Structure 1
Amino acid sequence: MGAEKEAAASMGRPRDDMATEALLRVARDLVTRHGYRAVSIQMIAAEAGVGRQTLYRRWPGKADLVLDAFLASAAAVEDPGLGSVGEALTRYLQDLFKNLERDGPAIRSLVASAQEDPQFLDSFRQKFVWPRAAVAAGILQRAAKAGELAEDADLEAALTALHGAFWYRLLLGEPLTPEFAARLSASIVRSLR
């Protein structure tokens, strides 16, 4: 009897993982197809084949679920840690652009919705924007400490210009290519030397 209970208990855990994976997949798919505002918790739960209580056991609401869905499918964007500031910044941007380019329409929908939903805006900043901005800041700070940049380099202005450039292109549906990443990186580095 003990072995049967153990087997039943171990079977329950994968089901939980399967529900989580289904919810993440469905949330991402629905938002990609219909936009953030058009998707409801009820739609996600129904299409994933789970009850709303299953969803709410994992996430406090739609904003957190949707962000986790996009973050789960996005490749990690990290500081490469090697090479010159220009090389590191270019690699960072190219990795970031791959994710943004693939999910462009959905990300635009998320940005638009964040402007009207303070809770979602906060989650979007905390989970999506600030972690990526911190990587770029780390690259520039490391370069400044290594003497690659001018002593009076304005890193805050450079980071704002860097992120402003790619958000502008993303929001307007302009391509985020590896070549643009290299040009943007070179321009930012030149402005800091």
Structure 2
Amino acid sequence: MSEQPVTLGRPKDEKTSVDILAATLQLVRLHGYEAVSITAIAKQAGVAKQTIYNRWSTKADLVLEAVFKETGRIAAAVPDDEQTSCQQQLSLFLCNVFEHLSYDARVLAALIAAAQKDEAFREAFKKGFVKPREAMLIDILNRAQQRGELSKHRDVSILSAFVHGAFWYALLQGDALNSELAQSLAAEIFWQG
């Protein structure tokens, strides 16, 4: 007879977690990261503060998860399509990333500022937001090299750094993150002149 594992307390309700994440994103978008408290999030989500602390250790962890889930929904990897050039795929990928950044520019700017003060937070932000987008971009560039659309002599890591530098700079300067910028960046990466 096998023993069943013993669990303490009630199991976590997934809908409650979804509601908390939605409330977090809504409040942080409206008021900014610094101005939103766990108390306000709990009230908006209709839960007790302890319910939040049973799931996330800190406000930063909660906000990061809310932003990362939204990022995964909006700025996901662009599927490989033989009919679409890698330049077009890069442009589409950047448009999707910029769409997310346009919703959450204030949130992300606040998270970047918070990451400068807290090394653990910075690592979580890099792991959950920056590195996955970087891997997706590099995947498109590697695909372009395999197809012969981008010279094999180009360093895809450096090209990725150029793209990221350009859009983070635009984000922090409050410049427009739009399809024109996405197309311009893709055109520069694939320029053959």
- Normalised by the size of structure 2, how large is the TM-score? 0.83
Alignment map for 1:138-157 (pairs within 5 Å): 138-157=139-158
Task: Select which of 35, 42, 55 maps to 2:39.
Answer: 42
Change in CA separation of 1:39 and 1:118 when aligned onto 2, cut-off 3 Å: farther
Aligned to 2:76: 77
More moved, 166-175 vs 112-121: 112-121
Task: Report the residue type matching 1:168 in the other structure.
Answer: Y
1:37–1:113 contact (8 Å) kept in structure 2: no
1:149 is paired with a residue of what secondary structure?
coil
Q: Kindly report which structure 2 residues correspond to 1:42-191, keeping only aligned pairs within 5 A, or say none.
A: 42-74=39-71, 75-82=74-81, 83-190=84-191
Unaligned runs of 5+ in 2: 1-9
Which structure's residues are more often helix, by fraction? Answer: 1
Which residue is equivalent to 2:20? 23
Distance 1:155 1:162 in 2: 10
The percent of aligned pairs where both chains have the same amino acid is 39
Q: Distance in 1 between matches of 2:46 and 2:155?
A: 51
In 2, Cα distance between equivalents of 1:85 and 1:52: 47
How far apart are residue 120 of structure 1 and its match? Answer: 1.6
By how many angstroms is 1:100 displaced? 0.6
Superposed displacement of residue 18, structure 1: 3.5
Contact 1:23 1:44 (8 Å CA) reproduced: yes
- What is the alpha-carbon distance in structure 1 between the residues aligned to residue 159 and residue 75 of structure 2? 23
Cα distance, 1:57 vs structure 2: 2.5
Runs of 4+ in 1 over 6 A off after TM superposition: none
Asked whether the equivalents of residues 75 and 100 of structure 2 are also in contact (C-alpha less than 8 Å), the reply is: no
Deviation, structure 1 residue 108: 1.2
Separation in structure 2 between the aligned mates of residue 39 and residue 122 of structure 1, nearest angstrom: 22
CA distance in 2, matches of 1:33, 1:87: 33
Secondary structure at the residue paired with 1:190? coil
Name structure 1 gaps, 5 residues minimum: 1-11
